[in-house]
Homo-oligomer: A and B are copies of this chain.
C-alpha cells in the first residue's frame, strides 16, 4: 500500500505533513515528501488527505477473552468482584467460548487501532488459534497459579504453557510469541516462581507478571516474605533475569523502581482498570525518572470496560497531571511513546512501534476530518486529548490491512457476535441453575 499526502508521527514523535509512505510486504519501505519513483511497487494507493498515519498501539497488558464478562460484575469491591462474579463465571468457560471471545476482543482492539497485545489468560491453544486466524500480533502467556506447595512439574497449566511454546512460539512469521507467566506473588509459591523463571531462561522466552496492583497485596507480600516487596521477591527468585513485563505496579516503593530499571523490566500501567477497581493511581513520573520503560495496557474488559488504547492514553496523561496537581507533567509525546514504542519494546518487537524505513508496517490511520478533531493546532495534543478509538479508520499489521472503515478482513464479525452471545447465554444459564 502507498499512503499518499498523509500526516505522520515519526519515531521522535515529531509530526510531518504531506508525506508519502510506501509499504512493501510486511515492512515500511519508503517515507518521503515526494511520490516514490516507482509507486507501482506498493500496490494499492491510499488517499491520506485529512488523515494521520501513526504507529499502531501495543496493548501491554490484557486478558482478551474476558470481554465475555464486560459489564457483568460492576461497582463491587475487588474481593466481591472476583469471588461472586469473575471466578464463578470463569469456572464455566470452555475452549470454544475462549476462541470466540478472543476473536471478539481482537475485533475490538483492531477497530481501536491496536496491532499487538501482551496477554495473560488460560485455554492457550484456543486463544492461539483465534490469534492466528486474525493476523494480529500477540505475546501470549498462560497465567500460572498454584495455591498449594505442588512442584512445577505437577502443574497442568505449566505443562500447557510448555506445549503452547513448542507448538506456537514464533507462528505466522513471529506474529504470535509465547511468553511465560506467573500470575502474581499471592497466587503462587517460591518454588513455582523459581521454576518458571529458570525454564523461561532455558527456552529464551519472556516473563509476564502482576505486581503490586493493590495496597493489601503489596503489604501482605511483605508480611509473608520477611519484608520483601513483590518486586524484591520476584527479583530474588530470578524472574527479572528474563525480559519481563510487570503489570500495574501501583504500590511499588522507592528502591523497587530502581530494581525494575536495572533489569530492564517494563511496567505495563493500566490506569482505567486501577481507577475503576479503586486500586490507586500508578506513579508514572517516578517510574520514568528511575529509567523504567513504561508501557500502557487496558487490562481486561471486565474492569475497564473496553480495550481502547486511545481512551487509555487520555487517562494515563490526565491522571498523572491530577495526582501531582501539575498540568505540565507527561507530554503527549511521552504518552504516545508509552502506548506504542514502549509496548513494542516490552514484547521484544524492536522493529515495531515507530514509523521509519525498515520497520514493520504495524500502522494505523486516524481520520482528522471530523468535528471533534478540528481545527488542528498540534496533532499530538489532538490524538492524546481529543480523539477516541473510533477515529481509527484503518489498522494494518505486518503490512496487511486487518480493519478498515468498519470492515474486518480476517474476521467474520457477525459470526463472532453470534457465537459470543451463545456462550454468554449458556454460561449464565449454568450459573443460574446452580
Query: CB within 8 Å of B: which residues of A?
Result: 67-72, 74-78, 81, 104, 107-108, 111-112, 272, 274-281, 301, 304-308, 311, 314-315, 318-319, 321-322, 324-332, 369-372, 374-378, 381-382, 385-386, 388-391, 413, 416-417, 420-421, 424
Contact = CB atoms under 8 A, between A and B. Distances in A.
Contact of A278 (B107, B306, B327): B327
A377 B319 contact: no
B72 A377 contact: yes
A419 to B, nearest CB: 10
Contacts of A275: 318-319, 321-322
Contacts of A328: 75-77
A371 B104 contact: yes
A428 to B, nearest CB: 8
A374 B74 contact: no
A369 B416 CA distance: 12
* The 6 nearest A-B residue pairs measured at CB: A390-B390, A71-B381, A305-B385, A108-B371, A305-B386, A275-B322
Number of this chain's copies in the complex: 2
Contacts of A319: 275
Nearest to A317: B276
A78 B77 CA distance: 36
A278 B324 contact: yes
Contact of A378 (B71, B301, B318, B424): B71
A301 B75 contact: no
18 contacts: A67-B371, A70-B374, A71-B377, A71-B381, A71-B386, A74-B378, A75-B331, A78-B327, A111-B372, A275-B322, A276-B385, A280-B325, A281-B322, A304-B385, A311-B314, A315-B318, A374-B421, A390-B390
B305 A374 contact: no
Given A75-B328, A108-B372, 16 more contacts: A67-B375, A68-B375, A71-B381, A75-B329, A75-B330, A76-B328, A77-B328, A111-B372, A274-B322, A278-B329, A305-B382, A308-B372, A311-B388, A315-B315, A369-B417, A390-B391
Contact of A318 (B276, B306, B382, B385): B276
A278 B74 contact: no
Contacts of A377: 69-72, 424
Contacts of A421: 374-375
A386 B68 contact: no
Contacts of A376: 71
Given A276-B385, A377-B72, A372 B112 contact: yes
A371 B280 contact: no
Nearest to A331: B75
A275 B68 CA distance: 31
Point out which of A315, A327, A328 has the most chain B C-beta atoms below 10 A from its C-beta: A327
Nearest to A110: B371
A96 to B, nearest CB: 15
Contacts of A329: 75, 278
A34 B314 CA distance: 43
Contacts of A420: 374-375
A245 B383 CA distance: 31
Contacts of A371: 67, 104, 107-108, 111, 413, 416-417
Given A107-B371, A376-B71, A77 B327 contact: yes
A374 B75 contact: no
A327 B386 contact: no
Given A325-B280, A371-B111, A421-B375, A388 B308 contact: yes
A305 B325 CA distance: 18
